[in-house]
């Protein structure tokens, strides 16, 4: 746990008592603050009370007496589409609003850091797609190279639930736009921006607000090194803004998977080969095509981002390549479950929108595509150019009729459930085919989360093997 500094003896509100909220309350108490907790859910309040925390009804004026700050969980809106009423009350009363990421950065460095050589470092990863894979890949490569490291934020442990810093340690944090937009303190040593695609637009008031939330990690954080994906216009703008006006421009490492960049410091992937260029010379090259946990161009971009950050941290090309090749992959993200009779089964349940599903479809050929669930805006219309890769689609959930209409002449069947879809796809599949769960939809019509949906897929695939 990271004890929160700067609030000793002060009353601090905590709004939202899920995983990050409870960790925040514990960290505040460990640092000598007095947390006053509230959640709209009775069950969440009861859980916090069972740990001995004060439950303060922040809807009432009396609960705000002596309060100096309100710490908000990331899922609670503070501006768009409308501020939560309790946050609006904090604004009215002049109480500072922050989140756990802001508390982490104001509390991470301690008085004994001057005795550490080297001092701990923080790498933060943001973007629309690939954050979790890049974060986990960085953490794995550092561990494989023998560097002390922790991973947290939007993946794994909450930022305040991490252990206090150790000498030479590297903390890798995945940060969503919800986390970067509100944090009052941001101070990464290395910040990574992967890409931007439409998502959470109602929460940010449109694409400009969404990009602005991501950009804060760089503009407010002032990282020593910025690793920026420049395949899209937002990344090109950000890279330009973070470059030095004079000098080498080395504070920025540009990454790409659609263009070659041979000036400045860059890492790009073309046709499955990663190349690092610096000062007009190629410094290293790696063939990514035979790394099973990193299939497709989107994962090659993730590999470029991890490579750039690891090089900035001082790892050698040989160390990084070894880590890339031993990376086991993340659950529910291009996760190869089994290969049976020449048919590969892949779990990409995390592909909950068309943009994420596009990355999965581009990584394979001869696809038996399992798709469907709760529809997202736009459905699968953006995926039409990839339908030629689909041998047949097996549709599930609420949006099966809409997906069927979009698929048109592409072979498809409405299976209704994942059980039926896996059975049908496995029966139809031939050697060389890939049975791919990439739903392009949320899970909430049939499952509490995409993780539960992916776990069910894994169980079904394993039962297929047991039945042979």
Run means of pLDDT, 10 residues per run, the chain, 468 residues: 96 94 96 97 95 96 96 93 96 97 94 88 94 96 97 92 94 95 96 88 87 95 96 96 74 94 94 94 95 90 97 97 94 90 95 90 95 92 97 97 97 98 98 97 93 97 73
What integer pLDDT is reported at residue 32 of this predicted model?
Answer: 97
pTM of this prediction? Answer: 0.86
322 is an annotated ligand-binding site residue: no
To 5 degrees, how large is the angle CA 177–CA 181–CA 187? 100
At 100 the pLDDT is 97
131 is in an annotated binding site: yes
Tell me the CA distances in angstroms from 103 to 186, 222, 376, one per residue in order: 9, 17, 34
Q: Are 177 and 183 in contact (CB under 8 A)?
A: no
Q: Where are the beta strands (DSSP E) in 216-363?
A: 225-229, 252-256, 265-270, 273-278, 281-287, 335-340, 343-347
Angle value at C-alpha 199, between 358 and 203, nearest 5 degrees: 165
Of 178, 177, 180, the residue nearest 220 (C-alpha): 180
3-state secondary structure of 34: strand
Tokens of 155: 């993946």
* The two structure tokens encoding residue 133: 């894979």
Q: Would you say 130 is a known binding-site residue? A: yes
Q: Please give the Cα distance from 28 to 17 (Å, whole number).
A: 13
Q: Pick 335-466's CATH classification: 3.20.20.70, 3.90.190.20, 3.30.530.20, 3.90.420.10.
A: 3.90.190.20
**Domain spanning 108-326: which superfamily?**
Mur-like, catalytic domain (3.40.1190.10)
Strand partners, 153: 174
Residue whose pair of structure tokens reads 């990514």 in the numeric block: 288
Other CB atoms within 10 Å distance of the CB of residue 82: 10
Q: Give residue 156's pLDDT.
A: 83
Domain borders along the chain are 11-98, 108-326, 335-466
Q: What pLDDT is recorded for position 245?
A: 64
Contact of 283 with 317, CB cutoff 8 Å: yes
The residue among 132, 155, 126 whose CA lies nearest residue 226 is: 126
Enter the CATH code of domain 11-98. Answer: 3.40.50.720
All residues at 6 or more sequence positions from 312 whose CB lies less than 8 Å from its CB, including other chains: 190, 225, 227, 253
Check whether 128 is labelled as a binding-site residue. Answer: yes
Distance CA 86, CA 68 (A): 14
350 is known to lie in a ligand binding site? no
């Amino acid at each position: 746990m990271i004890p929160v500094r700067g609030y000793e003896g002060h009353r601090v509100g905590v709004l939202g008592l899920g995983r990050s909220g409870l960790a925040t309350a514990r960290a505040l108490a460990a640092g000598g603050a007095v947390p006053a907790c509230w959640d709209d859910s009775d069950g969440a309040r009861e859980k916090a009370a069972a740990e001995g925390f004060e439950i303060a009804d922040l809807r009432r004026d009396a609960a705000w007496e002596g309060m100096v700050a309100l710490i908000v969980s990331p899922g609670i809106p503070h501006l768009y589409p409308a501020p939560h009423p309790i946050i609006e009350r904090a604004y009215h009363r002049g109480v500072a609003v922050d989140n756990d990421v802001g508390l982490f950065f104001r509390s991470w460095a301690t008085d004994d850091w001057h005795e550490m050589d080297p001092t701990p470092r923080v790498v933060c990863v943001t973007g629309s797609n690939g954050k979790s894979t890049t974060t986990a890949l960085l953490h794995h490569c550092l561990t494989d190279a023998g560097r002390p490291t922790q991973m947290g934020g939007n993946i794994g442990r909450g930022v305040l639930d991490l252990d206090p810093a150790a000498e030479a340690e590297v903390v890798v944090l995945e940060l969503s736009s919800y986390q970067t937009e509100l944090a009052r303190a941001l101070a990464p040593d290395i910040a990574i921006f992967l890409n931007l695609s439409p998502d959470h637009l109602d929460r940010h008031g449109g694409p400009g607000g969404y990009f602005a939330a991501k950009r804060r990690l760089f503009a407010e954080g002032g990282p020593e090194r910025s690793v920026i994906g420049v395949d899209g216009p937002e990344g090109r703008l950000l890279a330009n803004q973070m470059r030095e006006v004079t000098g080498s421009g080395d504070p920025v490492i540009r990454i790409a998977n659609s263009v070659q960049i041979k000036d400045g410091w860059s890492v790009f992937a073309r046709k499955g080969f990663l190349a690092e260029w610096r000062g007009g010379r190629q410094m290293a090259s790696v063939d990514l095509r035979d790394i099973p946990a990193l299939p497709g161009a989107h994962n090659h971009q993730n590999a470029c981002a991890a490579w750039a950050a690891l090089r900035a941290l001082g790892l050698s090309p040989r160390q990084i390549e070894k880590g890339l090749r031993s990376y086991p992959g993340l659950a529910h993200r291009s996760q190869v479950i089994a290969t049976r009779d020449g048919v590969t089964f892949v779990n990409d349940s995390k592909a909950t929108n068309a943009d994420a599903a596009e990355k999965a479809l581009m990584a394979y050929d001869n696809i038996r595509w399992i798709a469907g669930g709760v529809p997202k805006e736009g459905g699968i219309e953006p995926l039409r150019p990839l339908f030629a890769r689909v041998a047949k689609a097996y549709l599930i959930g609420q949006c099966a009729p809409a997906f069927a209409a979009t698929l048109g002449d592409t072979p498809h069947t409405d299976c209704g459930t994942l059980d039926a879809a896996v059975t049908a796809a496995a029966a139809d599949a031939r050697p060389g085919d890939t049975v791919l769960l990439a739903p392009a939809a949320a899970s909430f019509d049939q499952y509490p989360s995409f993780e539960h949906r992916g776990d069910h897929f894994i169980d079904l695939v394993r039962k297929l093997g047991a039945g042979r």
